[in-house]
A = this chain, B = another copy of it.
């Protein structure tokens, strides 16, 4: 089985870390392709960043479909471009916020999300609502860490995340934790051990869910909202994103 993990930002070190985390949990027969798009922001910390990350992400989905990929993971906690990606793909597509929230709801009675910057908390709540997970989400907390600080060896990122996790358990009444950034994937095991509660990282959670869906033959429904998008011209800089009409594609 081939799973493509798209880190929607263009920072290679983070993509490598994400790929490693994915491979550590993938089933023996699974090939993990971890990529960054050819275009877009170096990190995603705003709606603006998210919006600019989507075209490159979609390019990777389209390439994946041509290459016969069995499933996709969108490895940014804002799950950018998820609906558009699901339109393009016949294979299943799962976002890491989606995956982490789903799995957290299965092992605890409620979870707290610990994320990077406060300004992204609104998006986390929005996703929780869209996925039906708001009722399990006790709180979304930020440690005011810029995303790329997670990539810096000497930073005290781990300490600050651990502290915020402790506050979450003490103050939110939750009994599980969700890490709110793909860049935290490598801290997950360590935090779980320190805290004694389930700590869910979205990258590894999403790998499991995509493998699960692919094993069961569950692919994105092409009957309604998520059918292949109508073919039509794209203009200007984005001309390369022009889709042929569906009949051409079928051919």
Within 8 Å by CB of A236, from B39, B88, B131, B241, lies B39
Contact A109 B243, CB 8 Å, known A39-B234, A42-B233, A236-B38: no
Interface string of A113-131 (1 = CB under 8 A from B): 0000011011100100111
Q: Is the CB of B224 within 8 A of A175?
A: yes
> Which residues of A128-171 are within 8 A (CB) of B?
129-136, 146, 169
Does A108 count as interface, using CB distance less than 8 angstroms?
yes
Contact A119 B217, CB 8 Å, known A39-B237, A106-B92, A232-B41: no
Copies of this chain held together in the complex: 6
Contact A58 B54, CB 8 Å, known A118-B224, A223-B175: no
Q: Which of A40, A175, A224 has the most CB of B within 10 A?
A: A224
Assembly CA distance A212 to B205 (angstroms): 8
Considering only CB atoms and an 8 Å cut-off, how many residues of chain A contact the other chain?
A: 97
Assembly CA distance A49 to B176 (angstroms): 24
Does A200 count as interface, using CB distance less than 8 angstroms?
yes
Q: Is the CB of B88 within 8 A of A48?
A: yes
- Known: A39-B234, A40-B234, A121-B225; 15 extra A-B contacts, CB below 8 A, are A27-B27, A38-B236, A40-B236, A41-B233, A47-B83, A51-B55, A51-B81, A103-B209, A107-B218, A108-B220, A109-B224, A126-B130, A198-B219, A200-B218, A208-B212
Contact A230 B146, CB 8 Å, known A84-B47, A135-B132: yes
A-B contact list, 6 entries, CB within 8 Å: A38-B235, A38-B236, A46-B87, A49-B230, A52-B58, A175-B224
Q: A54: nearest residue on chain B (CB-CB)?
A: B51
Assembly CA distance A202 to B163 (angstroms): 38
Does A244 count as interface, using CB distance less than 8 angstroms?
no
Q: Is the CB of B221 within 8 A of A39?
A: no
Does A68 count as interface, using CB distance less than 8 angstroms?
no
Within 8 Å by CB of A40, from B102, B173, B223, B238, lies B238
